[in-house]
């Protein structure tokens, strides 16, 4: 499946205009107030973004991964949290799209495509992040339901979500359930026990959620009974796409930091010349732009492989690793170039500097990423005999 290139370019151009007009003027205010950007999210719904990769048959835009990656870059360029509102929703939607039964797709995808129902993805627990097999949240069968008990951590969009793709331990092993709930802090045995305070990535909630005797219909086992106990395989196979998402966010934040730096470097004068005339600053700008460009190319390479149905574990890992480290480095360099003004809350550079580190942690830390890349390389380059 490939998105028509002219249509993709038009979508990105419109999004870029929207970001410059509607997002950039207000992003830092929302972020500093840690306020959910309801009006911006409503406009994202109107643009159809919540259906970005959902098939047209279910009311979505059916974008390919390469175009979706460009969408994420533009949103993160404006404000990383907007891409966060969308990404976790799309992780849930993509799981349903790829593995759901026909009935499950018809039931959940149409309302997710319009954004009327928002999605969250809940794998991590207080004592299980990188080590996914250490999950403890339990799903105990009882008639035609499963009773869920346990604590899930770091659930982005968890409170406002109407659908949560939840990993829990059934007797057969870790299974992915689709939990349907009302948005809000409490719903039938599910409660938001903590709003997690964060360094950056503000304006959208990341929460701890406790399940106490919450009943999920057996019909909500993602993919049906054949996937009982195989939920981790199903979730991990979606992580390639998740890594491309995070890498694209990195490109967006890094590009924003670079553009702020190159503009400032031409305005700010020291010793009678713009600081852009100093070679030390020029070298920084050259390195920053080179790494942003390289990150985008790695993202597009991984995305193209996913679109072609090719294996992309190594490429998606490389894109995530390089783009997230680039975001961190470029945000830091942008702050240096801004001197003292970069440290103030009046310019967005401090926001990029606080947002960037999340990308080295989310969707598998970069230590785990290196393990994934190395494992893939060793299997590709295995010596014969």
Residues that bind ligand FAD (CB under 6 A): 88, 121-124, 129-131, 154-156, 198, 201, 206, 358, 361-362, 364-365, 367-368
Cα pseudo-dihedral 17, 20, 26, 27, rounded to 10: 100
> What whole-number distance in Å separates Cα of residue 336 and Cα of residue 198?
23
Q: Nearest approach, Cβ of 135 to ligand FAD (angstroms)?
A: 10
Residue 236's closest CA among 87, 123, 348? Answer: 123
Q: Distance between CA 231 and CA 223 in Å, rounded?
A: 9
Distance CA 96, CA 92 (A): 6
363 is catalytic: yes
Catalytic residue among 159, 363, 367, 384: 363
Measured from each CB, the residue nearest to ligand FAD is 129
Q: In terms of CB distance, is 42 or 367 closer to ligand FAD?
A: 367
Q: Find the shortest distance in angstroms from Cβ 172 to ligand FAD.
A: 21
Q: Cα(199)–Cα(104) distance, rounded to whole angstroms?
A: 37
Q: Is residue 177 within a helix (H) or strand (E), and if so which, with residue range? A: strand 173-180
Give strand pairing partners of 140: 147
- Shortest separation between residue 237's beta carbon and ligand FAD, angstroms: 15
Three-state SS for 64? coil
Measured from the CB atom, the residue of 121 and 258 that comes closer to ligand FAD is: 121
Tokens found for residue 120: 């969250």
CB of 152 to ligand FAD, least distance (A): 7
In the bound state with ligand FAD, the residue whose beta carbon lies nearer, of 157 and 326, is 157
Closest CB 3 distance from ligand FAD, rounded Å:
26
Could you tell me the smallest distance in angstroms from the CB atom of residue 338 to ligand FAD? 25
Which C-beta is closer to ligand FAD: that of 281 or that of 360? 360
CB 27 within 8 A of CB 67: no
Shortest spacing between CB 101 and ligand FAD, in angstroms: 23
> Look-up: residue for tokens 């009311």?
59
Task: Give Dmax (Cα) for the chain.
Answer: 79
* 201: Cβ contacts below 8 Å, ≥ 6 apart: 80, 81, 84, 355, 358
Overall residue count recorded for the chain in this entry: 385
Task: Tell me phi and psi for residue 198, to 5 degrees.
Answer: -130, 155
**With respect to ligand FAD, which residue has the nearer C-beta, 54 or 246?**
246
Residue 202: which of 82, 324, 121 has the closest Cα?
A: 82
Distance separating alpha carbons of residues 196 and 206, to the nearest angstrom = 6
Complex with ligand FAD: residue 181 or 305, whichever CB lies closer: 181
CB 74 within 8 A of CB 44: no
Residue with tokens 């713009």: 274
Closest to ligand FAD by CB, 126 vs 339, is 126
Give the residue numbers marked as catalytic.
363
């Amino acid at each position: 499946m490939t998105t028509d290139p002219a249509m993709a370019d038009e979508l990105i151009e419109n999004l870029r205009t929207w970001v410059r007009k509607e997002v950039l003027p207000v992003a830092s205010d929302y972020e500093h107030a840690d306020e959910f950007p309801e009006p911006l999210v409503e406009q994202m719904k109107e643009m159809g973004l919540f259906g970005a990769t959902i098939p047209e048959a279910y009311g979505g835009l059916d974008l390919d991964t390469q175009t979706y990656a460009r969408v994420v870059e533009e949103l993160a360029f404006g404000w990383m949290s907007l891409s966060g509102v969308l990404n976790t929703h799309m992780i849930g939607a993509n799981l349903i799209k790829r593995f759901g039964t026909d009935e499950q797709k018809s039931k959940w995808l149409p309302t997710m495509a319009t954004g009327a129902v928002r999605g969250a993805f809940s794998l991590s627990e207080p004592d299980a992040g990188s080590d996914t097999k250490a999950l403890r949240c339990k799903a105990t069968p009882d008639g035609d339901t499963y009773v869920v008990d346990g604590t899930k951590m770091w659930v982005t969009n968890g409170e406002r979500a109407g659908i949560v793709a939840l990993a829990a331990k059934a007797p057969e092993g870790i299974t992915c359930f689709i939990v349907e709930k009302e948005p809000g802090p409490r719903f039938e045995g599910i409660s938001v026990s903590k709003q997690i305070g964060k360094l950056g990535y503000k304006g959208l909630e990341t929460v701890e959620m406790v399940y106490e005797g919450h009943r999920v219909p057996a019909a909500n086992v993602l993919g049906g009974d054949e996937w009982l106990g195989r939920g981790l395989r199903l979730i991990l196979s979606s992580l390639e796409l998740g890594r491309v998402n995070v890498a694209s966010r990195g490109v967006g934040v890094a590009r924003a930091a670079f553009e702020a730096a190159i503009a400032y470097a031409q305005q700010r004068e020291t010793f009678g010349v713009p600081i852009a005339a100093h070679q030390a600053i020029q070298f920084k700008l050259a390195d920053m732009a080179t790494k942003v460009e390289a990150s985008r190319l790695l993202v597009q390479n991984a995305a193209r492989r996913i679109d072609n149905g090719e294996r992309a574990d190594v490429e998606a890992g490389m894109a995530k690793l390089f783009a997230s480290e680039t975001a961190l480095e470029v945000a830091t360099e942008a702050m240096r170039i801004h001197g003292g003004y970069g440290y103030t809350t009046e310019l967005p550079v401090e926001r990029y500097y606080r947002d960037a580190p999340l990308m080295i942690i989310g969707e598998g830390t970069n230590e785990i990423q290196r393990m994934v890349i190395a494992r893939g390389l060793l299997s590709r380059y295995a010596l014969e005999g």
